[in-house]
Structure 1
Amino acid sequence: MNYQFTIIVPVYNEEDNLLRVEKELLAYTQIATKTTKILFVNDGSKDKSQALIEAICSRHDAFDYILFKENRGLSAAIKAGFDYTTTELVGYIDSDLQTAPEDFNLLLAHIGEFDLVTGVRSNRKDSFVKNMSSKIANGIRRAFTKDGMDDTGCPLKVIKTDYAKRIPMFKGLHRFLPAMIMLQNGTTKQITVQHFPRVAGEAKFGVWNRLLGPLMDCFAYLWMKKKYINYEVAKKK
């Protein structure tokens, strides 16, 4: 099949969620506005996630996977997904499914005129502490990057693949994807999407790595912005 869109699904110890991921993403491929394939990136899970992933991929041609030798973190998983994507568009969704796959169609509706479209979670179904720490972290990041984004932690994004492959990823930079597209003179848009409570598994981020991590990463971003190489070819033979 001539696929147009790849959804990256980072996985780390999510055995309790994967059958639901299979069901919901398979259903989405039937209603997607672009022909869609799924790419699991197993970030060195220690549970039964890999066995489940391999079983899922054996059942469906549109499902593939990458397995890391060891846990390398969310940014590395997203970066690997970008590297192995061959479609013109790429997106990602967390394997906890706190966002809805069908909302990808809302983002895809705008990707023609923008280079990245990201979700903004409405009526977040998280704890007060988690919501407040995310709000503070987003405020800090927005002050540094001036990217105008309200919710860069939303795990629902669509990006033109040629832009995604040029992002110089490092640990923590998944929070800065809109800003990194803007460094390439790309355009961004945010769209309100649904949000749901986690129903299985455990959250991988706590209060401290939602606050201290983004603050330190802001300084890394400022260094990146100062050193970033960006060019356009005017003519070639």
Structure 2
Amino acid sequence: MDVSIVIPVYNEAENVLHLAAEVEQALKPLNGCWECLWIDDGSTDDTWDKLLLVASAHPGGPHRLCALKKNAGQSAALWVGFQRCRGRFIATLDGDGQNDPRDIPRLVALLVDGRYDMVQGYREARKDSLKRRLASRIANGFRNLITGKSVRDVGCSTRVFRRECLPYLPPFKGLHRFLPTLLMYQGFRIAETPVNHRPRRRGTTKYGIFDRLWVGLLDIFGVSWLRVRGFRCQVVRTFPEQDTHHE
């Protein structure tokens, strides 16, 4: 398995069929060496039924489903998906259709030669309201200031990283907002590249601007604590001989 895509969804019944078709079309160049993990984060509409249609259309195929008992949040849904991934490279997308799956093969290609451990997308032409863009810019700037790491658009969910990064991602509710920052703390090499962003065409957003802003600010101080108190080390030799790897 080359690529695992993790897509958390919450009450996105209007979007999953179209998004699944886009994923299948975008990943055709990988000749079946990919999987898509859909994590239903406690949806109360018929999202799960739509996902069953996606999976049953390809028995034994690339779409795998997991439903959480109740809504646990985007970070928890991603974490559950990460634990089930089988690919060498792990990609993430939002379930609202605003991220473009066609960006994924290009991001994977940037990892293949080994220069980077993660490629983080940034929304060059963001298709959101002015209020949402402004709130995001303020939060992103403050986040970079406090954490000491500069990431152009940490809120963009279009990203791909190596499987080796997984053990260094701590499970907490704000994880999805700090993925590149946390990996940079551990010495992983991060590249950033522009990606496509599209307006939401179906359904409504599940997150309020100020809900995310205040919670995100609280999380920043927790991640900053990790910056000061976290540690990074590298094994240089073992006996009997084993592969040296990132620790």
TM range (shorter): over 0.9
Match of 2:244 in 1: none
Q: Which residue of 1 aligns with 2:33?
A: 35
Q: Secondary structure at the match of 1:165?
A: helix
Percent identical across equivalent pairs?
33
Provide the C-alpha distance between the structure 1 equivalents of 2:32 and 2:52, rounded to a whole number of angstroms: 24
Residue 222 of structure 2: SS of its match in structure 1?
Answer: helix
1:21 aligns with 2:23: no
CA distance in 1 between counterparts of 2:72 and 2:84 reads 16
Residues 96-105 or 221-230, more deviating: 221-230
Separation in structure 1 between the aligned mates of residue 106 and residue 81 of structure 2, nearest angstrom: 22
C-alpha spacing 1:149/1:33, structure 2 compared with 1 (3 Å): farther
RMSD of aligned C-alpha atoms? 1.5
- Greater C-alpha radius of gyration: 2
Tell me if structure 2 keeps the 8 A contact 1:114–1:187: yes
Q: Does 1:12 align with 2:14?
A: no
Change (3 A) 1:34 1:149: farther
Amino acid at match of 1:78: L
1:124 aligned partner: 126
Change (3 A) 1:208 1:26: same
**In the alignment, structure 1 residue 230 sits paired with structure 2 residue 232:** yes
Q: Which residue of 1 aligns with 2:62?
A: 62
Task: Name the structure 2 match of 1:102.
Answer: 102
Large movers: runs of 4+ above 4 Å: none
Give 1:113's aligned amino acid. Answer: R
Q: Aligned partners of 1:65, 1:181: CA distance in 2, in Å?
A: 27
Structure 1: any 5+ residue segments left out of the alignment?
A: none
Deviation at residue 31 of structure 1 after TM alignment:
2.9
Aligned residues: 235
- Cα distance per residue 1:171-226 (max 9 Å; x no partner): 01211111111122101011001111000111122221232122111101012223
Is residue 153 of structure 2 the alignment partner of residue 155 of structure 1?
no
Scaled by the length of structure 1, the TM-score of the pair is 0.94
CA distance, structure 2, for counterparts of residue 109 and residue 197 of structure 1: 26
Partner SS, residue 119 of structure 1? strand
In structure 2, how many angstroms separate the alpha carbons of the residues matched to 1:52 and 1:229? 44
Structure 2 gap segments, 5+ residues each: 241-247
